[in-house]
């Protein structure tokens, strides 16, 4: 069974469109995260969320917003996509603020 899953695996879209990436974890974790990995493989935290608090990295544009329908899901919505948004986006989860995080397989977003 997949612990952290993301859909879609690949997403190709036009500039200006709005898109969503879904993430689900079946580990029973209560904290979930979104990371962005650029073309140089640098990983950067975007959001961290549990049912009490959303922590936003100050460098993330407000076109990006996480939405959590329940504890097992944290979806990423992106409005007005720009060329620079092209990257691989990873979802992760952990138990509380425990540092060990488990990552999904990633979604490669390409904005044309």
Partner 1 sequence: GQQLNQSPQSMFIQEGEDVSMNCTSSSIFNTWLWYKQDPGEGPVLLIALYKAGELTSNGRLTAQFGITRKDSFLNISASIPSDVGIYFCAGPVRGSGGGADGLTFGKGTHLIIQP
Q: Quick check: 1 binds partner 1 (CB under 8 A)?
A: no
| Size, binding site for partner 1 by CB under 8 A | 30
CB nearer to partner 1: pick between 84 and 96 = 96
Report the alpha-carbon angle 92-57-108, nearest 5. 50
Could you give the string, one character per residue 20-39, with x where binding to partner 1 holds by CB under 8 A and - elsewhere? -----------x-x-x----
Residues forming beta bridges with residue 34, ordered by sequence position: 47, 91
CA distance 38 to 99: 23
Taking phi over 0 as left and psi of -120 to 50 as alpha, with beta for the rest, 8 belongs to beta
**Site residues (vs partner 1, CB under 8 A):** 4, 31, 33, 35, 40-45, 47-48, 50, 53, 55, 57, 90, 92, 94, 96-106
């Amino acid at each position: 069974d997949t612990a952290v899953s993301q859909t879609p695996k690949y997403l190709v879209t036009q500039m200006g469109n709005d898109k969503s990436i879904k993430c689900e974890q079946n580990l029973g974790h209560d904290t979930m995260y979104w990371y962005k990995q650029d073309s140089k493989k640098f990983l950067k935290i975007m959001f961290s969320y549990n049912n009490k608090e959303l922590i936003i990295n100050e460098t993330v544009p407000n076109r990006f917003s996480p939405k959590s329908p329940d504890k097992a899901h944290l979806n990423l919505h992106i409005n007005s996509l720009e060329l620079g948004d092209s990257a691989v986006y990873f979802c992760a989860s952990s138990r509380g603020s425990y540092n060990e995080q488990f990552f999904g397989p990633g979604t490669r977003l390409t904005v044309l």
